[in-house]
Structure 1
Amino acid sequence: MQLSVIILNYNVRHFLELCVSSVEAALVDFDSEIIVIDNNSSDDSCQMMKERFPEVQLIENKENSGFPKGNNIGVAKAKGKYICILNPDTVVAEDTFVKVLAFAERQKNLGIIGVKLIDGAGKFLPESKRGTPTPWVAFTKITALYKLFPNTTLFDRYYAGHLAKNQTGEVEILVGAFMVMEKQLYLDVGGFDEDCFMYSDDIDLSYMVLQKRKSNYYFHETTVIHYKGESTVKDSTYMKRFQEAMNFFYKKHFKVSVLFSIFMKIGILFFSVIKMFQGKRIVQKGKKHFVLYSKNNSLVNKLANVLQKKVVFHDLNTEKMELPSLTPPELPIEILLDANTIPFKKCIAFMEILKNKRFTFKIVSKENEFLIGSDNSNERGTVVKIDV
């Protein structure tokens, strides 16, 4: 088998459904499998999987065993030469795996491949490519020196500043939302370290692969949506686990002084507090336009009833994704992308093209059951159910 896609889920039923729909569309021409591991969700994730995707292998854990252990359970069942560790709050394009595996086959000393990630507003996520967070690199991150001195080798290593977002090349650290590697390499390094519950597991795995003298790559030629934060409420528990995760990585891989350890503890606390407040939901106030991009005109009235607003229809039979003239033009625009009639790749491309503060996006799910999306990377996403 060529590829096994491993998706670990915890209480994100609607995002999982959208994710698996996109993965199925991307695996049409592959000898492949999808394995979903559920970490004892309290929502109806498992029931949805059984009803909507009976062909997908579903593993139902009886407890929330954390990100590393959950993924290790899935990989143990995988039959593919390659595995893809994939978050449930992601959307892949129809040609994502075609491009990534073609790139993988060309490499002679392959480690892990990551791709360009964007958030729900179409904006590039800098964590798509990172450097090893050595004590100095971590210092530049926590003190924001990387922002004050961009494009400076001494300060820009945290987000792998030697590579532009539209440039493929070697990097040290990749994000666990999307990782492709050979299954055997994953097993050779021991997989995700189960002593880390979550948050630094992807850093640790990337670093262990580097220690095997393998090359990790950031691959920019396909884009994946990562809504972020769907499985985690950024509360006091988040802060505690974030601190534990960073301490875990430093104790495992670096010898640091007591003074630096104290500084890092203060810095991690400060950084995690910022993350907690960033995670508070940002409510967009005021009126907005709604524009539906679809080939199905009958969907307009249904969405207008759900949103209690007028929805402007843009017929994609014209093959042009241009914005219609709207009055008043200064109002923010919510773009509704119909995944039933628009390829996921086109949805992703449109979000990248129109990324700015004026536009927000929601995707209409397969079967027209819900709208889903998020307005920025610091908030949890929104699900709006549609009466079928």
Structure 2
Amino acid sequence: MDLSVVIVNYNTKKLTIDCIQSILDSKLNVQYEIFVVDNASSDGSVEQIQSMFPEVNVISNKENVGFSKANNQAIKACNSRYVLLLNSDTIVNENTLDEMIHFMDVESNVGAVGCEVNLPDGTLDKACHRGFPNPEASLYYIIGLAKKFPNSPKYNSYHKSYMNMHEVHDIDCLVGAFMMVRREVIEQVGLLDEEFFMYGEDIDWCYRIKEAGWRIVYNPTVSIVHYKGASSRRKPFKIVYEFHRAMYLFHKKHFKTKYNFLVNGVVYTGIILKLTFATISNLLKRVR
């Protein structure tokens, strides 16, 4: 098998069906398989997908085990040369998968590759092109210097939009909405870290892949459409908590030993304050 496409579904039946159909419509010139891991959806997703696409491998969980663990379930079950993490709320363009496989076949030192990820309005989903969120990069992003100086390598090291976004180049972080990973890389660095429930697992994986000496590449010659946040709208407080928890986990895992206790204290305090403000904001929206 050349490619295994892994899609995690949580109450996004219509979007997942459209995503699967876009893959089938691609008419790939390679051997491929599709896995859908359902995290205990209540919208009839499993039955509908099995009925419409009997060729799709469906793993049905009895509870929501999170994004990392669900992806790992499918990765363990497949044995292809490449594994593609693909969000359920995406549409794959006709030539995207073939072109990405060809790219990986030619560039043997690339461990993971991502494409241009566009939002429905045609703008770039900035999450597909990121630097690692070290304390400096995160600070400049939070206080607005990254936005004020988008062409500055110093101040905008979070999204790195100062780079030529129309050319293929190496990058730190891809997004789990579309990330094609080489089988040898998974065997070397391991699966997604299941401590991350929904956010941060893609950044952590990219960090480990680069630490192992593999290249991570952004390839904007092909693209997908991302209807962002479809499955995360249903539990806003859970999502807000997991988003900030992922910040804490990533810093603790990869940066804690690289900074002194003062910097670490500022980072953890900042995460707590940001979580507090985000929670209050959500509560006020619900009241309104």
TM-score by length of 2: 0.91
Q: Which residue of 2 aligns with 1:68?
A: 68
Structure 1 position 78 matched with structure 2 position 81: no
* Aligned residue in 1 for 2:104: 104
1:178-217 superposed matches below 5 A: 178-217=178-217
C-alpha displacement at 1:231, in angstroms?
Answer: 1.3
Contact 1:37 1:59 in 2 (8 A): yes
How far apart, in 2, do the equivalents of 1:238 and 1:257 lie? 30
Aligned to 2:149: 149
Q: Pick closer, same or farther for the CA change 1:185–1:270 going to 2, 3 Å.
A: same
CA contact (8 A) 2:237 2:279 kept: no
CA distance in 1, matches of 2:242, 2:17: 27
Post-superposition Cα deviations, 1:159-198, rounded to whole Å, max 9, x if no partner, equal 1234232121000111100000112312321110011112
SS at match of 1:116: strand
Q: Are the structure 2 counterparts of residues 271 and 229 from structure 1 closer, same or farther at C-alpha, using a change threshold of 3 Å?
A: farther
The more displaced of 77-86 and 253-262 is 253-262
Task: Tell me which residue corresponds to 1:223.
Answer: 223
Report deviation, 1:137. Answer: 1.1
The match for 1:268 among 261, 271, 281 is 271
Residues 271, 106 of structure 1: alpha-carbon distance in 2 compared, 3 angstrom cutoff: farther
Deviation for aligned residue 1:241: 1.1
Instruction: Name the counterpart of 1:31.
Output: 31
Partner of 1:381: none
* 2:176 paired with 1:176: yes
Q: Secondary structure at the match of 1:14?
A: helix
Give 3-state SS (helix, strand or coil) of 1:199's partner. coil
What is the match of residue 255 of structure 2?
254
Q: Which has the higher contact order (CA 8 A, sep 6+)?
A: 2
Equivalent position of 1:368 in the other structure: none
SS in 1 for 2:93: coil
Q: Distance in 1 between matches of 2:245 and 2:119?
A: 26
The aligned amino acid for 1:163 is M
1:164 maps to what in 2?
164
Encode CA deviations 1:230-264: one digit per residue, 9 max, x unaligned.
Answer: 11126222221111111100110112344333433
- Cross-structure match for 1:242: 243
Asked whether the equivalents of residues 142 and 271 of structure 1 are also in contact (C-alpha less than 8 Å), the reply is no
CA RMSD in angstroms comes to 2.1
Q: Which moved more, 1:38-47 or 1:183-192?
A: 183-192
210-219 or 26-35: bigger deviation? 26-35
Deviations 1:26-48 (A, max 9, x none): 24422110011111111111011
CA contact (8 A) 1:10 1:41 kept: yes
Percent identity over the alignment?
A: 33
What is the CA–CA distance in structure 2 between the aligned matches of 1:40 and 1:94, rounded to whole Å? Answer: 30
Aligned pair in 2 of structure 1 residues 275, 114: CA closer, same or farther (>3 Å)?
farther
| CA 268–27 in structure 1, closer or farther in 2 if over 3 Å, else same | farther
Q: Equivalent residue of 1:132, what SS?
A: coil
- The corresponding residue for 2:18 is 18
Q: Give the count of matched residue pairs.
A: 280
Q: Secondary structure at the match of 2:4?
A: strand
Q: TM-score, normalised by structure 1?
A: 0.68
Question: Which shows bigger deviation, 116-125 or 208-217?
Answer: 116-125
Aligned mates of 2:168, 2:78 — CA distance in 1: 28
Q: Distance in 2 between matches of 1:218 and 1:113?
A: 6
| Structure 1 gap segments, 5+ residues each | 282-388
Name the CA distance, whole Å, in 1 between partners of 2:44 and 2:158.
38
Question: Of the two, which has the highest radius of gyration?
Answer: 1
Stretches of 4+ moved more than 4 A in 1? Answer: 269-278
Local SS of the residue matching 1:160: coil
Which residue identity lines up with residue 169 of structure 1 in the other structure?
A: H
Deviation at 1:72, TM superposition (A): 0.5
Paired letter, 1:41: S
